[in-house]
Amino acid sequence: MTPLSPAPSSPTPAGHALVTGASSGIGAAIAREYAARGVPLILTARREDRLQQLADDLRRQVPVEVIASDLADPAAPAALVEEIHRRGLKVRILVNNAGYGVAGRYRVNDWPTHAAFLQLMIGAVSELIWRLLPDLRESGHGRIVNVSSVAGLVPGADGQTLYAPVKAYMVKLSESLHLENLDRGVNVTALCPGFTLSEFHDVTGTRGMMDKLPGWIWLQAGDVARAGIDAAERGQVVCVPGWRYKLLVFVAKHLPESWLLGLMKRNSKKYRKVD
């Protein structure tokens, strides 16, 4: 049985948690976890119907606002923040979770596909932080959770060429932002899970490959959500849920790079499209 989230030891600070990519997977799990902790929510994603279903469920616990937005559109981050402020809402917690993977080697996909991916994973993340940072700093208890990946902490794989680089960017961005904003009570955390049960691999078309992996390799989205939120509250900058993935990252930091690249080359076909 999954343990219940601990009750806050003091009243929850004022302000909403904005969760991007909240319609499923880790994003939905993070929204549920914040609702269980009494934090009002702003949910955004492309699929408004899925957001409304989640919001209807969570409104039994906390106030929930829904704003549908496709953050792969360069105009979307500014429009999203404008709508938040138009509704008179203050963001105290920003969770940058929206994301996906582009399957196949670099030249398999056209440039507009890669450009949309980079806009969502780097452009939108960076702009939302920039636009909302004044609110987070003003709250005196702001939190940013950037949902990165173990992929950003180990050598790149063959296939999904841009995925590891953008996840590494989120780690480094989190580290710098944390140092810059500690004086105003803002904690910034890069949440770096490994393989997590969600719709991610359905979207990338690799579900068949994933189903062949052993069960022990998978994390539960709820466990990942709790680990990330707890890490942000502690001021932990990089959070790797699960002892197996902690061990993987530790080993990756200490083995010669040539060995690691060789291992990635031999194993990429097990979980990436490489043709």
188: left (phi over 0), alpha (psi -120 to 50) or beta: beta
33 DSSP 8-state letter: H
Type of residue found at 154: V
Residue 204, φ and ψ in degrees, nearest 5: -85, -5
Using alpha carbons only, give the angle 139, 55, 21 rounded to the nearest 5 degrees: 70
Q: How many residues does the chain have?
A: 275
CA-based radius of gyration for the chain: 18
Residue 167: CB atoms within 10 A of its CB come to: 23
Strand, coil or helix: 181: helix
Task: Note if 163 is an active site residue.
Answer: yes
Helices 125-139 and 76-86 pack at an angle, to 10 degrees, of 30
| From 163, 169, 245, 271, active-site residue | 163
Q: Which residues are catalytic?
A: 163
